[in-house]
Amino acid sequence: MTNIILFGPPGAGKGTQAQKLVENCNLLHLSTGDILRNEVSNNTKLGKKAKEYMDNGKLVPDDLVIEMIKNKIIENSNVNGFLFDGFPRTVEQAKALDKLMQNLGESISMLISLEVDDNELKKRLLKRGKLSGRQDDKDINIIEKRISEYKIKTAPVKKYYKKQGKIFTVKGVGSINEIFDNIKKIITTYAHTV
């Protein structure tokens, strides 16, 4: 399996690049944000618990997210690999993911980090907030909360994988295709089976 974590702050382009990658590579895209939004719109038990955190730009508690991703991984353990988007978002989640992979006799192949400055992130998210229905893009205070959650709780995940020698960084500003080409280059050079 090739198991890739697409990493970066809110608005870095994880979802955009993941979509292009799955068209090109035979990986299963798992976006915890998309899965959670689906749970919220279906008004499930999990969705009801997650909604308030998401609407306020806060991370959903680790135990809920870990249980959710565990089920997705087990349901799909026959795929060629996973493309994780928006997960893991805490060191606790990263440790749990490593364990889940181990249970399958697998491991994380690499983490690709999209680097984008705060002003660009805010500009992108506010623009999308005007055009579409994502509740957490509509208010600059919520966007800033998401960015601060990233800096405090999520950025340490990079150090966690750096110790394992699995980090690659990509400039996330510029044309979507250019960024995609750079990601693709890293994957084809450093991962074997994609």
The residues that touch ligand AP5, with contacts defined as CB under 6 A, are 8, 10-16, 32-33, 36, 53-54, 57-60, 65, 86-87, 89, 93, 124, 128, 136, 146, 176, 179
Q: Residue 96 binds what, of Mg ion, ligand AP5, none (CB under 5 to 8 Å, by partner type)? A: none
- 15 counts as binding Mg ion under rule CB under 5 A: yes
Total chain residues near Mg ion (CB under 5 A) = 3
Minimum CB distance to Mg ion smaller for 31 or for 182: 31
What one-letter code names the amino acid at 130?
Answer: K
Q: Residue 166 binds what, of Mg ion, ligand AP5, none (CB under 5 to 8 Å, by partner type)? A: none
Sheet holding 167-171, edge to edge: 28-31, 82-85, 4-7, 110-115, 167-171
Shortest gap between Cβ of 95 and Mg ion (angstroms)?
23
Minimum CB distance to ligand AP5 smaller for 75 or for 193: 75
Shortest gap between Cβ of 78 and Mg ion (angstroms)?
25
Q: Residue 89 binds what, of ligand AP5, Mg ion, none (CB under 5 to 8 Å, by partner type)? A: ligand AP5
Spacing of C-alpha 92 from chain mean position: 15
Minimum CB distance to Mg ion smaller for 12 or for 110: 12
Taking CB under 5 A as the binding criterion, the range among 33-41, 97-105, 170-178, 183-191 that sits at the site for Mg ion is 33-41
Minimum CB distance to ligand AP5 smaller for 78 or for 132: 132
Residue numbers at the binding site for Mg ion (CB under 5 A): 14-15, 33
